[in-house]
Structure 1
Amino acid sequence: MKVSLFITCLADTLFPDVGRSTVRLLERLGVEVDFPEAQTCCGQMHMNSGYPGEAGTLVRKFASAFADSDLVVTPSGSCAGMLRHHSTTVARGTAMPKVYELSEFLIDVLGVTDVGARFPHTVTYHPTCHSSRLLGVGDRPTRLLQQVEGLNLITLPAAEQCCGFGGTFAIKNADTSSAMGVDKINNAEQSGADFLCASDASCLMHLKGVAEKRHAPIRTIHLAEILAAS
């Protein structure tokens, strides 16, 4: 099977290991990965900030970059949600490829939960807002984590609560955003986990900053990085 990888802005600029891990994981499962180099932003930031025209321009650019792709995989629930649910609003008539968030692709398309990973650590999982509420990925990420050799998965208290990032919300409402992030990190620490896992680099960026500022011992990690570990 051949798929195209949409890496997202944050993974490209700040978390390159997420992209590398995604490719390593998919290739280990026998998937041929294509990377259209013309790809840029999906327009989510512009859409969330009230600029649908600018968002539409980027959606059309995405569609052009992936015009030869039948299927696109991205390690981001928020970007997948933007492209699946908002692209028709801001770029009507634009032909879009089928876009899957990573855990959706692994379970729904490849039909696997055991990806051959090994990660001997205690992990708790934060279900990000867009992946849960917009995409409805449900328990797919935790089903994958439960099959990782050596991994001890424990429940995150108040897991359904937002981490406070929310794109430009974190800038416009910094105090509220920070307080929500502190609550999330406190809950992660109380769980007793070594790692706080999520499937969006944006939320992990926010939570990593909060944890480092508070000198919290818990580390953040993307789902793809765990699933690619061996």
Structure 2
Amino acid sequence: MKVGLFVTCLVDAMRPEIGFSALTLLEAAGCEVFVPESQTCCGQPGYSSGDRKAARSLAEKFIEEFEGFEYVVIPSGSCGGNVKTHYADLFRDDPAWLARVERLAPRVYELTDFLYSVAKLTPGSLPGQGGLAGAVTYHDSCCGLRELGVQRQPRALLEQAGVEVKEMRDSRQCCGFGGTFALKYGDISSAIVDEKCRNIHDTGARAVVLGDLGCMLNIEGRLRRTGDHDTRVLHVAQVLAGDLGGNDGTAGKGGR
């Protein structure tokens, strides 16, 4: 299978190791992976903020870069949801571009959904099997859950990798990030993420695992600011690929 990997601008800028982990997993699944060097942003920030002109420009760029692949895989439910469910709205008045979106959208997958549903990655193919000691808890990121139906897939893959998942209370509840929501409504965002952190702590898990870097940075930042320097915050791709490297995202603890 020829797969185009969309790394996402946030991963590229903040945690490139997640992109490398996704690449490792796709190759382990037997995929021929291509990473277009010209890729940038899917246009979600513009779309969510009402800047349709900027969002459309980036959407056209994305379509031209990725429509030639058999599948497009994205290690982010928010970016995947934007492409798969919102591009059609951006091009609703342009039949030619809308037709291109409709051909592309069914081939766009969030990473764990692709590995579980399409590539059908087997336990023996998971590079990170047995690499993480202790139980983890899982946070369901809003866009992946509600726009793409990603919930069972990451848990099934973690189970195959031998990782024990302790479910937190309200795992499907927002972490308070929501892109610009966290900036516009800081007090509300902080209250939401504080509740999420309490739910994480209540499980006794040594790590919280998730599939969206925005949520990851928000939760991790709040844990550290409130004195928790022990709970690891990891992208599911890192755990499945065994790309842990002692890095929990805090300053000075490594990573690539």
TM-score (norm: length of structure 2): 0.86
The residue that corresponds to 2:49 in the other structure is: 49
CA contact (8 A) 2:220 2:233 kept: yes
* Correspondence 1:145 to 2:158: yes
CA distance in 2, matches of 1:159, 1:6: 26
Structure 1 partner of 2:253: none
Q: Which amino acid aligns with 1:186?
A: R
For 2:91 and 2:61, the matched residues in 1 are separated by: 10
Per the alignment, residue 60 of structure 2 pairs with 60
Shift of 1:157: 1.1
| Equivalence for 2:236 | 223
- Could you tell me how far apart the structure 2 residues matched to 1:138 and 1:126 are? 9
Counting aligned pairs with the same residue, the percent is 40
Question: Shift in Å at residue 161 of structure 1?
Answer: 1.1
Aligned to 2:190: 178
| Aligned partner of 1:194 among 169, 182, 206 | 206
Alignment of 1:94-109 (within 5 A): 94=97, 95-96=100-101, 97=104, 98-109=107-118
Structure 1 partner of 2:254: none
Q: Which runs of 5+ in 1 are unaligned?
A: none
Normalising by structure 1, we get a TM-score of 0.95
- Which residue of the partner structure matches residue 222 of structure 2? 210
Q: Alpha-carbon deviation of 1:113?
A: 5.2
Q: Aligned partners of 1:182 and 1:47: how far apart in 2?
A: 28
Q: Match of 2:119? A: 110
Separation in 2 of the partners of 1:218 and 1:189?
8
Unaligned runs of 5+ residues in structure 2 are 244-256
Asked if structure 2 preserves the Cα contact closer than 8 Å seen for 1:59 and 1:91, the reply is no
- Once residues 231 and 198 of structure 2 are traced to their aligned partners in structure 1, the CA distance between those partners, rounded to angstroms, is 10
1:98-148 superposed Cα distances (whole Å, 9 cap, x missing partner): 210011101111123524222222100001100111111231111111111
For residues 62 and 142 of structure 1, the distance between their equivalents in structure 2, rounded to whole angstroms, comes to 29
Structure 1 runs (4+) deviating above 3 angstroms are none
Partner SS, residue 224 of structure 1:
helix
2-structure distance, mates of 1:53, 1:90: 9
Q: Aligned equivalents of 2:35 and 2:4: distance in 1? A: 6
CA distances 1:157-208 after superposition (whole Å, capped 9, x unpaired):
1112100000110111111111111111111011101110110011001111
Q: CA RMSD in A?
A: 1.4
**Map of 1:63-142 to 2, 5 A cutoff?**
63-92=63-92, 93-94=96-97, 95-96=100-101, 97=104, 98-112=107-121, 114=123, 115-116=125-126, 117-118=129-130, 119-142=132-155
Which region of structure 1 is more displaced relative to structure 2, 52-61 or 197-206? Answer: 52-61
Any conservation in 1 of the 2:137–2:207 contact (CA below 8 Å)? Answer: yes
Going from structure 1 to structure 2, the CA distance change for 1:158 and 1:67 (only over 3 Å counts) comes to: closer
Give, in whole Å, the separation in 1 of the partners of 2:233 and 2:24. 20
